[in-house]
Amino acid sequence: MSIHACIFDLDGVLVDTAKYHFLAWKRLTDQLGIPFTEKDNERLKGVSRMDSLEIILEIGDLKMDPRQKTEYATLKNNWYKDYIGRMTPDEILPGCLEFIKELKLADIKVAIGSSSKNTLMILKQVGIIELFDAIADGNIISKAKPDPEVFIKAANMVGCKPANCIVFEDALAGVEAALNAGMICVGVGSAKVLTKAHFVVSGLNEMTLKKLKSIEKDSRL
């Protein structure tokens, strides 16, 4: 098999943190008097912290200077960190640990490719940081998904060529980033939404090494 590495997005693929992002943004939007629903929160998946704030300000038709933006993004992040600081290993999404173990036994590298600057904190909090051969996160990139930077960096860190990597992603911007990197992409979520992915599963509990091999084969046809 020519797959040498699997690169996982974090939020929405390995752990369900969207609910904590929502609670923290909701607290901020309530304070600012901006209407903000769970449906609006969907637009923030895979989007960087500052770009998320821009979307929220657009919803509320509100203008802010750069200093205020930084202040409010920091406030939101402090509330978010309060939530993720209480996460437990039970919040690792079903099937993740089993699939990653199978990959390691097959000598396939496992890496993280996430836009989140809180990646290390979350991985430590749920006790899985040791599983990864490399971690590329929001702190080491200058361009957000759909730019391929985070996935290219993850591939470089594990010494694999993009063509030998498979990305697992739950956000549209992330699927595009993987394709822009020249990697195979497995969407995690709804096939109706993640239409550009080579293959879609509803969760990593649907993944096995055998399936990985067949996805690889099909995507090369």
Provide the annotated active-site residues.
Answer: 9, 11
* Environment class of 4 (CB within 10 Å of its CB; exposed 0-12, middle 13-18, buried 19+): middle
**Residues making contact with ligand BG6 (CB under 6 A):** 10-11, 21, 44-49, 52, 77, 114-118, 138, 171
Residue type, 49: R
One-letter amino acid of 157: M
Q: Which of residues 4-63 bind Mg ion (CB under 5 A)?
A: 9, 11-12, 46
Contact 149, 160 (CB under 8 A): no
Binding at 117: pick from ligand BG6, Mg ion, none (beta carbon under 5-8 Å per type): ligand BG6
Per CB under 5 A, which of residues 131..170 are in contact with Mg ion?
170
Name the residue nearer to ligand BG6 (CB basis): 47 or 135.
Answer: 47
Q: Which among ligand BG6, Mg ion, none contacts residue 52 (Cβ within 5 to 8 A by kind)?
A: ligand BG6
12 vs 162 by CB, closer to Mg ion: 12
Contact between 174 and 112 under an 8 Å Cβ cutoff? The reply is no
171 binds Mg ion (CB under 5 A): yes
Give, as one character, the DSSP assignment of residue 15: B
The token duo for 217 is 């084969």
Q: In the complex, what is the shortest distance from the CB of residue 66 to ligand BG6, in angstroms, rounded to a whole number? A: 17
Whole-angstrom distance, CA of residue 98 vs CA of residue 206: 11
